[in-house]
Amino acid sequence: MPNTQTTPLDRPDTRSRRERMVERQIAARGVRDARVLAAMREVPREAFVDDSMQEFAYEDAALPIEAEQTISQPYIVAHMLEAAAVQPDDRVLDVGTGSGYAAALLAWLGDEVYSIERHASLAQSAGERLQALGFENVEIRTGDGTLGWPDAAPFDAILVAAGGPHVPDALRQQLAIGGRLVMPRGDRESQELVRITRRGERDYDEEKLGAVRFVPLIGEQGWLEHRRQGEARDRREGRAERQTTLAERIRAASEPLPDPDDPASGAMFDRFADARIVLLGEASHGSSEFYRARAAITRRLIEQHGFRIVAVEADWPDAAALDRFARDLPPREGAQPPFRRFPRWMWRNTDVEAFIGWLRDHNANLPAAQRVRFRGLDLYSLGASIEAVLAYLEDIDPKLARTARERYGCLTPWQNDPATYARAALDDRYRGCEKGVVNMLGDLLARELDHAAEDPDDWFDAAQNACVVANAERYYRTMYHGAAESWNQRDTHMFETLQQLLRHGGAQARAVVWAHNSHIGDARATGMGRDRGELNIGQLCREHYGDQARLIGFGTDRGTVAAADDWDEPMRVMDVRPSRADSVERLSLDAGRPRSLLDLRPGVHDVLREELSQPRLERFIGVIYRPDTERWSHYSEASLSEQFDAWVWFEETRAITPLPGADRPGKAGLDDTWPFGL
């Protein structure tokens, strides 16, 4: 067993990711073998994938490797290892070396490992990885894995990482008495995992361990290579026929959607106007059609149905600047221009500018108390929110302002780069920050009766900024401990902010929410909820408001998108790749409607809803787009009809147009840079 704790690849961040993988993906699904769990914790999976895939090494999915092969899903590997029950003195045969990951785990668990790979290039690279990591008890050869390794037999355990039509006789014969063979068996599309235990010379027990899907087992006693192309073609044609049938049913159920600029477009969403909250998604943060469609729907809900809150996936202080402009209030003295940090284009674009301009014109005809508000739900504004709280308190309570400066002073070093606070918060010297910001929020809330009566809007704004500071501190502190914890903290904050907006607006207040599909689609119907333990605002709205919350998702097949290659890098316009053949988007494309609305509420198209409840891949593009790794960067499984109450489809979308940094024309005596100027 190598000393994997000393490998240079075993950094603290990857070790913590392995711990989370074992806890959430493997142990939580029922794998109990302590040695298997220990091996999964120790062997660095990122060392067995290409550099471009390393960020996905601990995702709950198979990943591509060379020669059109894959490294299996971590849970499946652990499941097979537990079934094989490898002991410290065992001799093991590994059929299908691939990247070498399973061989490394077997080497950690057993004594001698013999691994066969039919692709010479894979065998060579796997051997180099294993040698670099110190695994000296593995021997690899290139050959036909279905014939086994007779010279090294018998084996106490045999693992086969490819699916065959039957268990090869050669492998059965190479099992020792009492030995276990674990492999997928079935057709090329789907298999069941079986365990064969040899009880005697001709006596074998067989157990079925569940459905799986592996690459084909190619060889003399598996699938023959020359059959592959014809069978793959037949399989594709059969699948296409089934998808076409489902696509036809989608076409029959979906309704043609006018262009977002057509007034008839928004009217199609009147059916959702009886809800208290209508959540409108987007498949990317940089596609104009999504912004324009949400604007059209929102205008209709405001004008015809009395909605008075628009709550968006943006920071509270930034959205507050647009809100003041939309309600014809002057900018706050000393306030910085909004949307200065990455990704500025997400809200500083011509589509948002047009909506805010419309909202200002609409509000101009209403009494102040009835004007529609534009509010932010997010929590990234640590520095700006601290400044806003201090500015408010300086005016109304200088003594409390001094207390606030002392309490917030703990966070001063990180106001401009709060992500670095995550690591600093592990130091005992900075753990007191949490107590200070929480106490500050409590003190401000306790003074509601003293200060809210004079100007309830100003007090509410300050209170929400104090809440942002408290929750942002917690968010950045949990970043170091894992993505799920920080994601859940963020979406819980957004949901609680939405609740505060509704309470502040009164018993009849109703809201429209603009956020990404990953936030407004019910997380319980997606891989993020089922596999990673993440929740979102859509799930929380359904749990608290039931049918009074309607979740509407958006999708596209292709076009262009405004996005960056990585965080804090410049925005550029990129081509969106056509959707995958096994995705929800491809079904929508095959339905043949350029724009459409599909109503997924119970009782509308129940047979189709049942069909669309099956998990399929769905694309999610944020402010970062990586076409070269799109399958792993941007697709995740989701059950469409459980995720959303409706699905809005645009076959082709185009990138939003960012606003330039230069000043823009002002209005009615206001400064020319208001509200979008820099």
Residue 630 gets which letter from DSSP?
H
Cβ-based burial of 589 (10 A; exposed 0-12, middle 13-18, buried ≥19)? buried
Do 38 and 184 contact (CB within 8 A), yes or no? no
Cα-Cα end-to-end distance for the chain: 59
Do 575 and 670 contact (CB within 8 A), yes or no? no
The three state secondary structure string of 39-81 is HHHHCCHHHHCCHHHHHHCCCCCCEECHHHCEECCHHHHHHHH
Do 590 and 243 contact (CB within 8 A), yes or no? yes
Residue 641: how many other CB atoms lie within 10 Å = 22
User: Residue 151: CB partners within 8 Å, gap ≥ 6?
Assistant: none
3-class SS of residue 536: coil
3-class SS of residue 230: helix
Closest CA to 443 of 491, 489, 492, 408: 408
Residue 115 gets which letter from DSSP?
E
174/153 Cα distance (integer angstroms): 5
Q: Where are the alpha helices (DSSP H) in 560-645?
A: 584-591, 606-611, 630-634, 640-643
Residue found by looking up tokens 């799986």 in the block: 212
Residue of 52, 72, 190, 639 marked catalytic: 72
Phi, psi of 305 (to 5 degrees): -130, 5
Helix and strand numbers (H, E) in the chain are 25, 20
Sheet hosting strand 191-198, strand order edge to edge: 138-142, 112-117, 91-95, 155-160, 175-186, 191-198, 204-212
Phi, psi of 253 (to 5 degrees): -90, -25
Cβ-based burial of 638 (10 A; exposed 0-12, middle 13-18, buried ≥19)? buried
321/300 Cα distance (integer angstroms): 24
State yes or no: is 486 an active-site residue: no
Do 484 and 533 contact (CB within 8 A), yes or no? yes
Q: Which helix (H) or strand (E) holds 159?
A: strand 155-160
Do 276 and 243 contact (CB within 8 A), yes or no? no
Closest CA to 183 of 204, 170, 168: 168
Residue found by looking up tokens 């709205």 in the block: 541
Closest CA to 72 of 93, 44, 100, 47: 100
111/127 Cα distance (integer angstroms): 17
Closest CA to 78 of 18, 119, 123, 127: 18
Known catalytic residues are 72
